[in-house]
Amino acid sequence: MSELEPVVLGQPTVGDEELAAVAEVFRSGWLAGAGPACRRFEERFAKIVGTAHALTTSNCGSALFLGLRVLGVKPGDEVIVGDYTFPATGHAVLQAGATPVFADIRPDVWSADPASIEALITPRTVGILAVDVAGQPGDFDEYRAIADKHGLWLFEDAACAAGATYKSRPAGSLADLTAFSFHGRKGITAGEGGALVSDREDLIAHARKLHTYGIEPAITREGSGALPIPEFHELGYNFRLSDVQAAIMNVQLDRLPDLLSARRSVAKRYHEAFENLPGLDVPVELPDREHPWQAYILTVAPEIDRDALALRIREQGVQCNFGTYASHLQPIYGKKQTLPVSADLFARHLAVPMHANLTDAQVDRVIGTVSAALPS
């Protein structure tokens, strides 16, 4: 094992500005969820992602679940889901009582293949849940055409995609609803958290009630001249983001352009170093999209043992991991589908360090370590 300081796979960029924002919330006395800091963030985030409305949530999983609830998903329904994703996407469909049906993926950018989606539609299909894998949006014009043709809704899982664009449109503005994540490895983060965004006021208003046990959040009753006593008409949940986290997220929004620039600089250096290296393929950024590089994932040649390669890299103090999951292979869903592209890449993908804090020396070390670890 290397005695050098490890080069970590992912790392948030936070500092004195976030601490000052948290201190301001402490002084305000409103630390709970769905307060003034949340509302400020929602207004700013909606503008950045190109939608009319945004709702902060406790995490992306709760945003996905709330979105499915307000879209009317029910037991017996089928939802087509891009297969190559952390299983939170499929889990949300199960939690809503429906059945996830997984679509195979494009071999180059790993998002759901429109042809696979179209082939899976049945009379029970109600919508398409498309994933922006590693942050790069999928083929949303094609997804929208399929959804409109068959009378389906379209939901974007943009967990990794803050700052990404598709044909000059920001991730978040590409579907009927979009869910984002602010987990610690994402491009902007409060450690945890999420958001649900849409142009449809009815969907976000309904989600806002559901995320506070089925009633309007307390801030909507501030300053009332009467004594409002909310009534509960619908089963809801506690999926609120705290104002402490929202204060951090407001600073993270200020940082977003610089964070994206730093990640893109690292990705460029990785491309230049790895694109002609035998045994590896670099990730593809399509010309009509801007990739936020939430992760940098190499594809290892079939003849190379990906797991053994990863262990050799880790032994030198450089963190790495598999890419993400071929969801249809996870036991919770039952092995009912055969999706060869997703299954193949699940076995061959290797994620290397990617975050905005990487120094030139650390990038050099990652490049040198990966190159040396490849079999000669």
How close are the terminal C-alpha atoms of the chain, in Å?
21
β-partners of residue 166 are 169, 289
> Per the residue annotation, which of 74, 186, 268, 335 is the catalytic one?
186
209 counts as catalytic = no
Count of positions (residues) in the chain: 376
- In the chain, count H helices and then E strands: 11, 13
Cα of 98 vs its chain's centroid, Å? 21
How far is Cα 139 from Cα 113, in angstroms, rounded to an integer? 8
For the chain, strand residue ranges (E) read: 53-57, 78-82, 99-103, 125-131, 153-157, 165-166, 169-170, 177-181, 194-198, 280-281, 289-290, 296-300, 349-352
CA distances from 272 to 221, 238, 260, 302, 336 (A): 56, 46, 18, 22, 40
Establish how many alpha carbons lie within 13 A of residue 30's alpha carbon, considering only the half-sphere containing its beta carbon.
Answer: 15
How far is Cα 159 from Cα 189, in angstroms, rounded to an integer? 11
Residue with tokens 């998002």: 111
How far is Cα 152 from Cα 128, in angstroms, rounded to an integer? 7
Structure tokens at 25: 């919330």
Query: Angle 301-269-187 (CA atoms, 0-180°, nearest 5)?
Result: 95
How far is Cα 53 from Cα 45, in angstroms, rounded to an integer? 9
Establish how many alpha carbons lie within 13 A of residue 159's alpha carbon, considering only the half-sphere containing its beta carbon.
Answer: 24
Angle, helices 16-28/36-49, rounded to nearest 10 degrees? 130
Residues that are catalytic: 186
